[in-house]
């Protein structure tokens, strides 16, 4: 499960980078205000990604050992 606090600050950093220009830099506080508008959608994406990853890990653990070696053994 991802650390959403860390992901939130990464999202704020991305938002700040998008909003900043050389003439008018964006403060962290302003970026947090703008990022809070789009954060629910981004958090939903992260949750879906974590869920997919968990399903993939479970599926890999439940794979039969015979299907793991698809190449036939080499003759000597």
Report if pTM > 0.75. no
pLDDT on residue 46: 95
pLDDT tens string 40-52: 999 999 999 999 9
pLDDT of 25: 93
Q: Give the pLDDT confidence of 11-28 residue by residue, as tens digits.
A: 999 999 999 999 999 999
The structure tokens listed for 58 are 């479970």
Question: 62: pLDDT confidence band, cut at 50, 70 and 90?
Answer: confident
Do 61 and 54 touch, CB atoms closer than 8 A?
Answer: no
Contact 30, 74 (CB under 8 A): no
DSSP symbol at 25:
P
């Amino acid at each position: 499960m991802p650390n959403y606090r860390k992901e939130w600050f990464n999202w704020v950093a991305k938002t700040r980078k998008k909003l900043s220009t050389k003439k008018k830099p964006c403060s962290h506080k302003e970026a947090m205000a703008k990022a809070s508008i789009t954060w629910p959608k981004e958090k939903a994406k992260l949750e879906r990604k974590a869920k997919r990853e968990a399903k993939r890990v479970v599926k890999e653990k439940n794979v039969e050992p015979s299907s793991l070696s698809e190449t036939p053994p080499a003759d000597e």
